[in-house]
Structure formats: C-alpha cells, structure tokens
C-alpha cells in the first residue's frame, strides 16, 4: 500500500481518503457476509482491506505534558502522509505486550530524566524482554522522540536517551527510522536519531516545547509513516 510523500497536496490527501472509504466499505460488506470467519481470523487481510497503511503504537511517558504534546504532533504528522494509518497512543505504563505485538510501527517517547529515559518507559522496555525471547518484534519499524529541559541545543542527555532506545529496538531485530536533516523542521526539533523538544528556557526554568519543535515532530511523524509503508510493503 502506497502513501504520499510529506510534500503531498490536499488533492492527494482527498484521493487517499476516498480510496480508504471505498476499501472500508468493501471490508464492511465482507464482514457482513461472514467472509473473515470463513477464511479464519485473518486480521492483517481485514486490516489491509480497510485501507490502513500501517498499525502504529506511540508509547510515551509524560509528567508535565511536554512529551505528550510531541506524541500528539507525531500522530498528527503520520495522518498527513498516511491518512488511513491506525494510530494508538498509550502511556508507557498502560502499554500491554499485545499493543507492541500488533503494531507495525512502534514509537517510543520519553522526557530525559537524569541523563536517560524515564523509569516508566524503561519499565516497558524491560517488560518487553520476553518478546525478545520470542522474536515477536522482529521486522517492525521503530522511531523515537524525547524532550529535555536543556541547557544546550541537545539538552542534558537527550542524544544518549534516544540512542539507548535505538539499541533496544535493534536488539529486537527492528528497523529504526531516524530524522534526516533534509526534513522540514530539522533545525528546530530534529536530531538524527529522532524528534526532540526542549522544554526549558535559557535560564533553565521550565517553559514548554516550542511550536517549531512540534512542527518538527509532525514532520518526523509524516516521514516515519512514509518510510514504514515502504519498509513493510
């Protein structure tokens, strides 16, 4: 299934939406006549017929809503490049193993806490260790984002936080999508590993992630969905 590039116009978005509605109608008809029960529990076929580009899970932790804003922006960007993507947002603590297994794309987001990820996300990473034993996440697409208070452009530990999330995805045999410098917004909220928002001001006091960082997160989301469709097809 093909998705439009992030430079796609509203015209393409409406064509894709129409195609999605048509496929959804076909899927609903097949459901009514019992087609899916006849061929067994084939949820991926049902999913494909419904015109969904990809199943996305965005799992994040956020105490003060900055990381949540980034999660919402990434989801919004994904919808732009892949209007039929099926996106689930969950906090790290409420994320179940089934959420990870049923996703084609897993996006992890965290605030930087003392130079690394928040314990709530680490707890999810560790819980998913049993999926590593089963190889259940192999071949899925991973992407990451983080927020930090600052000081400095990258903040205190944001890069290492993102890299450690990449390491975890790679350990599972997943494919990782970074944030290429050619994407819109890279200068405001991109690091090669993923999307970044700085929530502290220049005095080191809490502020909020900037609109520019949220725009970069939308751009990253659009890119991740587009890449995921290419990689998974």
Ligand X SMILES: Cc1cc2nc3c(=O)[nH]c(=O)nc-3n(C[C@H](O)[C@H](O)[C@H](O)COP(=O)(O)O)c2cc1C
Instruction: Name the site residues for ligand X (rule: CB under 6 A).
Output: 62-68, 111-115, 147-150, 155-157, 199, 206
- Which helix (H) or strand (E) segment holds residue 219: the answer is helix 211-232
Closest separation in Å from C-beta 211 to ligand X: 15
Closer Cβ to ligand X, 8 or 154, answer by number: 154
Nearer to ligand X by Cβ, of 29 and 64: the residue is: 64
Cβ-based nearer residue to ligand X, 10 or 114: 114
Residue with Cβ nearer ligand X (60 or 169): 60
Q: Minimum CB separation from ligand X for residue 205, in Å?
A: 10
Helix (H, G, I), strand (E, B) or coil at 9: coil
Q: 218, 175 in Cβ contact below 8 A? A: no
Minimum Å gap between C-beta 189 and ligand X is 12
Whichever of 67 and 84 has its CB closer to ligand X, that residue is 67
| Residue 131 neighbours by CB distance under 10 Å | 15
CA dist., res. 68 & res. 91, Å (int): 9
Q: How far is the CB of 37 from ligand X (least distance, A)?
A: 43
Q: How far is the CB of 65 from ligand X (least distance, A)?
A: 5
For residue 163, CA distances in Å to 191, 216, 223, 232 come to: 11, 19, 19, 23
Residues 173, 169: Cα–Cα separation, whole Å:
7
Instruction: Provide φ and ψ at 99, rounded to 5°.
Output: -60, -40
């Amino acid at each position: 299934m093909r998705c439009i590039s992030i430079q796609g116009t509203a015209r393409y978005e409406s064509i894709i939406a129409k195609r999605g509605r048509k496929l959804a109608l076909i899927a609903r008809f097949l459901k009514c006549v019992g087609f899916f029960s006849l061929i067994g529990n084939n949820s991926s076929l049902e999913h494909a017929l419904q015109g969904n580009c990809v199943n996305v899970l965005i799992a994040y932790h956020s105490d003060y809503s900055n990381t949540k804003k980034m999660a919402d922006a990434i989801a919004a960007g994904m919808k732009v490049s892949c209007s039929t993507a099926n996106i689930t947002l969950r906090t790290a603590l409420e994320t179940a193993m089934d959420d990870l297994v049923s996703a084609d794309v897993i996006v992890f987001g965290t605030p930087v806490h003392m130079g690394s990820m928040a314990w709530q996300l680490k707890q999810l990473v560790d819980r998913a260790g049993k999926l590593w034993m089963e190889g259940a996440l192999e071949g899925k697409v991973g992407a990451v984002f983080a927020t930090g208070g600052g000081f400095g452009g990258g903040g205190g530990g944001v890069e290492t936080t993102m890299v450690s999330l990449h390491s975890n995805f790679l350990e599972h045999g997943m494919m990782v999508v970074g944030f290429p410098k050619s994407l819109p917004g890279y200068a405001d909220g991109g690091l090669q590993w993923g999307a970044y928002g700085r929530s502290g001001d220049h005095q080191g006091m809490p502020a909020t992630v900037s609109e520019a960082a949220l725009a970069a997160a939308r751009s990253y989301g659009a890119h991740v969905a587009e890449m995921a469709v290419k990689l998974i097809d």
